[in-house]
Structure 1
Amino acid sequence: MTDNKLQPFHLTATGYNINYLPEYIALRHGFFREQGVDVTVTIPKPWDRVLDHLAEGSADMALGGIWVPSMYRERVKNYTVFAQIANRCPLALLRRRQREPFKLSDVAGKTVLMKSGGGASVGLFFKMLLRENKIDERSVDYIQDLDGVMLGDLFQGGMGDYFVTDNLSALAMTAANPDVVIGMEMVSQSDVPWSVYYRETDSITPEFLDAKKRFCVALQKGIDWVLEHDAESFRDELAELFPNVPVEVAVGVTNGFRRDGMWTSTTVPRGGYERWQQGLAGARLVNSPLPYESIIHKTLPAEA
């Protein structure tokens, strides 16, 4: 298909993360163009300007946490979720090196640093994980209103007992600092629709649905490609995509995510969705869990 027949399709994203890798691969390998859509991406600062981009019509979909359309629903504005890219939580819990093996219950009575510059997801997931494991979240002291880089420096300097950050940063930190180790990689902690694509419900048109369908076909091809290729085989691409991280770390994180179910399908899984809704309700972001059908757009057969 020639470029003059491509349909512009603009995304506004809350960040640039390795858990979005299949989208980046789909862009680099021309999978979107094969489906007739010319995908471009903006990453605004602050991140919540993605909602402004949707409101003004400058973006076709936003990419970010499903907790945003959940808490806005029937309060401010309704959004519909059309696809997911990240099927697991991409965080890790760092601790100081010690002989004893880590147990999640060890955090009770301790101080946990958690980055929050990209939104509430870090604290939402970690506190949900504590509740799921019958650990009183109120038994932990949290420092979470600071930038992730600042908190990382402070943790390595002696502040707090644990640090929750993204998996890529965590592994880069442990590679550079022998006194810090990973206690838990949360990608192992079951399904949750961590990162999804959504749009204002009132702005959905047949033309958008057609373009969205083709977008999802290409995104699924990107997911499949990543799952079919050991990260060692495309380490040069990873080095280009994440130049500020040692390539060995990027390869290790990618293969870990491939193994542990970070990427599966563009379809939002009902089980993971319902689990996350329980977590959002436990954090009081929603009054009660939202039914799946109230926010998730039905997947068409051609997209499955």
Structure 2
Amino acid sequence: MTQPFRIAATGHSLNYLPEYMAAHRGYFEHEGLAVDAVVPSPWDLVLTELAAGTSQAALGGIWVPSMYFGRSSRYTPFAQVANRAPLALVGRGDPASFSLTDLVGGTVLMKGSNGASVGLYLKMLLAENDIDARDVRFIQDLDGAMLSELFVGGMGDYLLIDYPNASKLAGSHDVAVVRAFAEAGGDIPWSVYYTLREPTDEQRDLHTRFFRALGRGMADVLDAPADTYADLLTSLFPKFDIGLLVALTDQYRTWGMWTTPEINRAGYDRWQAGIALGGLVSQPLGYDVLIDSVPATRASREVTP
């Protein structure tokens, strides 16, 4: 008998591929889990899903559990799927000569309709490169699709969107991806699974089984070129050209988008500094304060040699 395990996700994205692979190949079912996913709109309804008990985990940015910690509901992250930010800057110049300092004095369009991650991330990168974010103009209160259309029409100097759509845009208009942050942006726990409250022993058992299955899906994604599972990619993202999807997936595989379901400690500390810089926490939260590492520990002990 399988146990239901519904995920309330903040989107449907290529960087979630290991989860989709694990479901496609029956790894969750092998662990006794009947996993399915919903993508509520607006995105913050993932928290309503957790509160109602209709979803057992949310998938999204770790800034949400961080922001709520000690203030309201306790959300506990226990696994990650994306180890890099799947974002890219689109510009009008030559990518070979681009530097982040080029943003100074310019205008960057970036969506603000699906959470805070995009703005937090870019402003963290600017700080890490000794660039004052006050020297850059941001337009970020609009939908991503609207901003893309306006950027192509001449608004702003740069557009920050997800890498797949950035690549698609560059392939059909006179613009270019000047920086792919999945490649050059460093490790960061961009997409994590979290649950409401401190998990019980029963929940930790479910999380451990989920963690193991996700790890198998991640290994399959990493172990084989994307053209060997092109049919899965096509079914997941029918609006994208399959050649582009395969190329993007192989780039993600090479760049370190997927590593392990264990939340990266160094990346976590880095991201906490960025979340604090954005004012969502008064100071960075320690790894063991926020993260439940029990599923990772149990999964590593229970792997059969």
Same fold (TM > 0.5):
yes
Which residue of 2 is the match for residue 150 of structure 1? 146
2:166 to 162, 165, 170: 170
Which residue of 2 is the match for residue 132 of structure 1? 128
Which residue of 1 is the match for residue 262 of structure 2? 267
Q: Aligned to 1:47, what secondary structure does the other structure show?
A: coil
Q: Within the alignment, does 1:109 sit opposite 2:105 as a pair?
A: yes
Which residue of 2 is the match for residue 198 of structure 1? 194
Whole-Å separation in 2 of the counterparts to 1:207 and 1:100: 52
Whole-Å separation in 2 of the counterparts to 1:162 and 1:17: 22
Q: Aligned to 2:73, what secondary structure does the other structure show?
A: coil
Whole-Å separation in 2 of the counterparts to 1:252 and 1:117: 28
Correspondence list, 1:197-216, <5 A: 197-202=193-198, 204-216=199-211
Q: Tell me which stretches of 4 or more aligned residues in structure 1 moved more than 6 Å.
A: none
Q: CA deviation at 1:97?
A: 3.6
- String of CA shifts for 1:79-115, please: whole Å, max 9, x gaps: 1111000000000000014486111100000000001
2:85 to 89, 105, 110: 89
8 A Cα contact 1:84 1:266, kept in partner: yes
Q: CA deviation at 1:236?
A: 2.1
8 A Cα contact 2:95 2:178, kept in partner: no
Whole-Å separation in 1 of the counterparts to 2:278 and 2:209: 36
Which residue of 2 is the match for residue 77 of structure 1? 73
Q: Within the alignment, does 1:9 sit opposite 2:5 as a pair?
A: yes
Q: Which runs of 5+ in 1 are unaligned?
A: none
8 A Cα contact 2:94 2:178, kept in partner: no
Whole-Å separation in 1 of the counterparts to 2:41 and 2:253: 29
Q: Within the alignment, does 1:294 sit opposite 2:289 as a pair?
A: yes
Q: Within the alignment, does 1:38 sit opposite 2:34 as a pair?
A: yes
Whole-Å separation in 1 of the counterparts to 2:20 and 2:75: 24
Which residue of 1 is the match for residue 303 of structure 2? none
Percent identity between the two aligned chains: 47
Which stretch of structure 1 is more off in the superposition, 152-161 or 251-260? 251-260
Whole-Å separation in 2 of the counterparts to 1:243 and 1:108: 38
**What letter corresponds to residue 28 of structure 2 in structure 1?**
F
Which residue of 2 is the match for residue 182 of structure 1? 177
8 A Cα contact 1:111 1:143, kept in partner: yes
2:244 to 238, 245, 249: 249
Q: Aligned to 2:182, what secondary structure does the other structure show?
A: helix
8 A Cα contact 1:267 1:299, kept in partner: no
TM-score, normalised to structure 1, is 0.96
**What letter corresponds to residue 243 of structure 1 in structure 2?**
P
- String of CA shifts for 1:226-271, please: whole Å, max 9, x gaps: 0001112222221111111111221111111100110001101110
Equivalent residue pairs, number: 298
Q: Aligned to 1:26, what secondary structure does the other structure show?
A: helix
Whole-Å separation in 2 of the counterparts to 1:64 and 1:71: 13
Whole-Å separation in 1 of the counterparts to 2:241 and 2:120: 29
Q: CA deviation at 1:10?
A: 1.0
Whole-Å separation in 1 of the counterparts to 2:270 and 2:203: 29
Q: Aligned to 2:176, what secondary structure does the other structure show?
A: strand
Which stretch of structure 1 is more off in the superposition, 80-89 or 232-241? 232-241
- String of CA shifts for 1:121-145, please: whole Å, max 9, x gaps: 1111011000000111110001111
8 A Cα contact 2:204 2:294, kept in partner: no
Q: Aligned to 1:184, what secondary structure does the other structure show?
A: strand
- String of CA shifts for 1:190-211, please: whole Å, max 9, x gaps: 1100000001124x22221111
Whole-Å separation in 1 of the counterparts to 2:16 and 2:99: 29
Q: CA deviation at 1:299?
A: 3.4
Whole-Å separation in 2 of the counterparts to 1:269 and 1:137: 27
Please report the RMSD computed on the Cα atoms of aligned residues, expressed in angstroms: 1.2
**What letter corresponds to residue 207 of structure 1 in structure 2?**
E
**What letter corresponds to residue 268 of structure 1 in structure 2?**
I
Whole-Å separation in 1 of the counterparts to 2:242 and 2:171: 12
The 3 A distance-change label for structure 1 pair 232 and 99 is: closer
Q: Aligned to 2:285, what secondary structure does the other structure show?
A: coil
1:226 to 211, 221, 224: 221
Q: CA deviation at 1:57?
A: 1.1
**What letter corresponds to residue 48 of structure 1 in structure 2?**
D
